[in-house]
Amino acid sequence: MNAIEFKKLKKIYRGKIAAVDGIDLTIPKSTIFGIIGPNGAGKSTIINILAGLVNKTKGEVKILGSQIQKGDYEYKRDVGFVLEQPHYIEKLSVVEYLHFAGTMYEIETVEIEKRTSELINFLRLKEKENDWIESYSTGMKKKVSLAAALIHQPKILILDEPLEGIDPVSVKQIKDNLRLMVEKGVTVLISSHNLDSIEKMCDEVGIIDKGKLVFQAKTKDIHQKINKGINKEIYHSLEDIFVDTIIDDNDKGNNKLSWL
């Protein structure tokens, strides 16, 4: 059974703008899958469809083998989300918010307290644990969102730009722990603009452009191809592959500013 499957997934806004245009994608269990793409490629729309915040226009979405229909929500008990716009309650402290989130997931109070304390220490939020979230920096707010996504021990983690604004020490810890979680059977779908992180962290990468999946490969295969060359070009990193996939020959003349 795969963790996430899309079949001919389509999302059309206002009857004409195709944000997602017939994507077929399978993400096996216990993998970290990275989605990359330029701004407006459709990455966040895919994540919002999975979160039930946007309804798909056509196609199929399966989570842990079950097809997701409009209005379904039971599958979300097994999924943790960090969305582009985090969904914390601003006028609560991180301790209060994690308690609230734990209650929403129907976790026992003793267990909530234990997990809250561990998450706060792990994400280095101890210093401001009693301050309202609205006073936190962007990175700290992302951490709060990540903590809430982890508190119910999800089988799938869906993360939209989760490391944006987070300090390097925490980034390292989060990456290491995501790997540990994957070894225990968790699946991670991560969308990011940070190609370096994606390359190092993910088992598989998909490039999305104009709502279509234009490239998909295992990172170990990408590493083998790098330096050997694909299509007679020499690649040094995922960034080179990404740029070459996204920018077509007509656009290549637009990569310089004439007056600089």
Partner 1 sequence: MVIKLIHIKSQLKIIKRYSSLVFVGIMFYAISILVITLLSSKMRQHHLLSKVNFPLLIIIISVFSTAAMFADLFPGKMNEKRGYVLQLWSLRKVIISKNGASTLITLLFPLPFLVVLPFFFHTSFQDYLNAGLYLITTLPPYLIFGNMISFSRKGLQSTDDKSDILPYLLLLSICAPMPYLVLESGLKSSVFCLAFFILCIMIWYFYLLPRYEHQFIELLTKSDLL
Applying CB under 8 A, the residues found at the interface with partner 1 are 13-14, 48, 51-55, 71, 73-74, 76-77, 81, 83, 85-92, 96, 99-101, 103-106, 109, 132
Report, in Å, the least distance between residue 201 CB and partner 1. 24
| Residue whose C-alpha is closest to residue 215's, from 224, 200, 204 | 204
Report, in Å, the least distance between residue 9 CB and partner 1. 15
Q: Which is closer to partner 1, CB of 61 or CB of 198?
A: 61
Q: Which is closer to partner 1, CB of 76 or CB of 115?
A: 76
Q: Which is closer to partner 1, CB of 48 or CB of 187?
A: 48
| Residues 91, 141 contacting (CB under 8 angstroms) | no
Residue 248: count other Cβ atoms within 10 Å of its Cβ.
9
Q: Which is closer to partner 1, CB of 77 or CB of 218?
A: 77
Q: Which is closer to partner 1, CB of 51 or CB of 217?
A: 51
Distance CA(109)–CA(217), nearest Å, equals: 43
Q: Cα 43 vs. chain centroid, distance in angstroms?
A: 9
| Residues 101, 153 contacting (CB under 8 angstroms) | no
Report, in Å, the least distance between residue 182 CB and partner 1. 22
Both tokens assigned to 131: 């301050």
Residue 257 main-chain phi, psi, to 5 deg: -100, 125
Residue 208: count other Cβ atoms within 10 Å of its Cβ.
25
Report, in Å, the least distance between residue 222 CB and partner 1. 32
Both tokens assigned to 136: 């936190």
Q: Which is closer to partner 1, CB of 73 or CB of 259?
A: 73
Report, in Å, the least distance between residue 66 CB and partner 1. 15
| Residues 125, 97 contacting (CB under 8 angstroms) | no
Amino acid at 217: A
Report, in Å, the least distance between residue 256 CB and partner 1. 35
